[in-house]
Structure 1
Amino acid sequence: MIPLNLNNSFNQVKEESDLDIGDLKLISTGSPTMTIKRPNLKLTLKHLGKSKTNTKSGFNKITSKYEVGKNIGTGTYSSVKLATEKDTGRKVAIKVSKRTNSREMAKKEYDTLKSLDQKTIIQPIEFIENDLKDESYLVLEYFAGMTLDKYIEEYGHLNEDETANIAQTLSNCLSYLHSKGIAHRDIKPQNILINDDKEIKLIDFNISKEGKSKCTDEEKLTKFSRIFYTQISSPLYAAPEIKGDKLYTESVDIWGLGIILFTCLFGKMSDSKEPICFKDNTNNIEDLIQSSTLENAWLQQMLLDCLNDDQDLRPSSEELLEYF
């Protein structure tokens, strides 16, 4: 047995007690000195090194740097808090993710956002983990507004000029994203922030992904150059190819753009809880678009093209720019 002097830092251990930590057995003898079995010494030190001090520092870093305020958003495994940076007075949004898989997704989201630089995409500030509470904190720029779906509910649909501006803004954003080989994969009204000036931000990149190139010969790439396998998206707004368990491309984001523009012009897409891509729903949506009295013929055509059931017939993000 090897004596290990822990001084006064372990005085809280009860006298004459055995403390089991996994395969470790620390034996207190009533003094600040403990004995530890030799075979587990290395593991013991490693275990003790991963102490509350280290894990708690993540939480302490948040509270020491930011004044955390009210909740401004809630998801299944995460919430968003409004906070103020103490040194600068800058407002930020802190996305708090719980559970291991949600924390991993938040870290991937941070890494993705850090690699992007486009004004319509929400910008990351820092990422902090807190193992003690099994939480992570993704600190983002704060954009004063609300999600598009809530805005439409409160103020009604947008006019054609406002929708056209959003169409151009999002088209430029998607062109940038897709040029990086990245698809957002969850473009929907809940992931668009809009303010009183009708400026927007694209948020929630937790399931965004860089797709695999269809082939290595750049000359042979089609207009949709990336391919994805994971069937993941919000079911209500998912593109038909995702619901059909098919391989799909970044064209799912073009479908998402169609969803956004329809919402801007007509409000809520459907009272049905069935996915929008179900045939009856798409037929109804197409009829509504075609029978509408939009002054901008190009906007009407863009809507129909983006919501095409066939992913290969939708415009690419580069082709979107030709509508303006």
Structure 2
Amino acid sequence: GGERILECIGEGGSGQVHKARNLKTGHLVAMKIQEWTHKNFKKFMIESLLLQSLVHQNIPKLMGMYSWKGKLYICMELYAGGDLDDFYTRMGSLKESQLAFVAKEVLETLLYLHQKGYMHRDIKPPNILLTDAGEVRLVDFGLMLKIKKKCKDRAGTIPYVAPEIALEYFSDGFNEKCDVWSVGMTLLELAEGGSYLLGTSKNSILEDLAEMMEVPRLTKRDKWSPVFRSFLEDALTLDPAMRPSVEVTMPFPA
């Protein structure tokens, strides 16, 4: 594809992401690399075709896709600011004004996706990148699905996944409001400077379920404005029928 693969800058369930240099232009790009399997190839094609159909300032542009020597490659823009997981690990928890900016940009991007008929299903700090100018980019569309009334294709990342997906025995499906919950959990983590790893150390399934039915809250409530607290409470509404949609869940003011 005309790129030289450089160091690995990220790794997840959908493959490794490497920095690469375009040999014609000299520009640095991001290259997602996966093993060639029938399952990966199907996901690779779906994600690539979806990315080509999405036009939004916060969604990276697809620059090329290749299959070579048992590997799949997706070439995209590289963002020098890294992801928000790396950002708060280095810099500490975000200020409320920073959280407001992230919420606004992510919700605007999700509004675009939902209006196009898709739910992202994997909103979390590692999937929110920053450009060197401090702009937000939403990435990793490998779990994105068409919105339908009672979707049951369960996937996502604990602890960001919505309860109607995680607690499948208590649910007859889910819709795009799962993204609203994930935004809430993402902002909670960025505000607290740590993740909420639920259901990882208990022996009892009932204890796991009971813990997941307890809505996570801010530990130092007085540190945050009533508007932010209200925003989180709305986003982290257990019952998806009562949880506001992206259109209603407007970002709190910076």
The bucket for the TM-score relative to the shorter chain is 0.7 to 0.9
> Is the counterpart of residue 233 in structure 1 residue 169 in structure 2?
no
- Whether 1:267 aligns to 2:193 is yes
Gap runs ≥5 in structure 1: 1-61, 215-226
In structure 1, the residue matched to 2:34 is: 97
TM-score with structure 1 length normalisation? 0.69
The 1-side partners of 2:35 and 2:116 are apart by 29
Q: Distance in 2 between matches of 1:233 and 1:240?
A: 11
Please give the secondary structure, in 2, of the residue aligned with 1:170.
helix
Taking CA–CA contacts closer than 8 Å with sequence separation of 6 or more, which of the two structures ends up with the larger relative contact order?
2
State the match for 2:216 in structure 1: 285
Q: Which residue of 1 aligns with 2:103?
A: 167
Pick aligned residue for 1:243 from 166, 173, 180: 166
> Given residue 115 of structure 2, which amino acid in structure 1 is its aligned partner?
S
SS of the residue 2:216 aligns to:
helix
Tell me if structure 1 keeps the 8 A contact 2:215–2:236.
no
User: What CA distance in whole angstroms lies between the structure 2 residues aligned with 1:74 and 1:238?
Assistant: 19
2:20 paired with 1:67: no
Cα-Cα RMSD: 2.3
CA distance in 2, matches of 1:120, 1:250: 19
Instruction: Please name the residue that 1:299 is paired with.
Output: 228
Alpha-carbon offset, residue 151 of structure 1: 1.8
Query: Does the aligned pair in 2 maintain the 1:124–1:141 contact within 8 Å?
Result: yes
Shift of 1:283: 3.5
Q: CA deviation at 1:153?
A: 1.6
Which residue of the partner structure matches residue 17 of structure 2?
80
Structure 1 residues 117-136: aligned runs within 5 Å: 117-130=55-68, 133-136=69-72
Match of 2:142 in 1: 206
TM-score norm. by structure 2 comes to 0.86
> What's 1:183 paired with?
119
SS at match of 2:156: coil
* 1:153–1:206 distance in 2 versus 1, CA, 3 Å: same
Closer/same/farther in 2, CA of residues 151 and 273 from structure 1, 3 Å limit = farther
More helix by share: 1
Pick from 222, 229, 243 the counterpart of residue 314 of structure 1.
243
Cα displacement (A) at 1:269: 3.0
In structure 1, the partner of 2:204 is: none
Separation in structure 2 between the aligned mates of residue 187 and residue 316 of structure 1, nearest angstrom: 15
Counterpart Cα distance in 2 of 1:192 and 1:126? 21
Aligned to 1:256: 182
Percentage identity across paired residues of the two chains: 29
Instruction: Go from structure 1 to structure 2 and tell me whether the alpha carbon gap of 1:300 and 1:77 turns closer, same or farther (over 3 Å shift).
Output: closer
Distance 1:76 1:283 in 2: 27
Larger Rg belongs to: 1
Q: Deviations over 1:35-83 (max 9, x none)?
A: xxxxxxxxxxxxxxxxxxxxxxxxxxx2xx1122111112346211111
* Partner-residue secondary structure (3-state), 1:114: helix
Q: Are the counterparts in 2 of residues 151 and 194 from structure 1 also a CA contact under 8 Å?
A: no
Equivalenced residue count is: 243
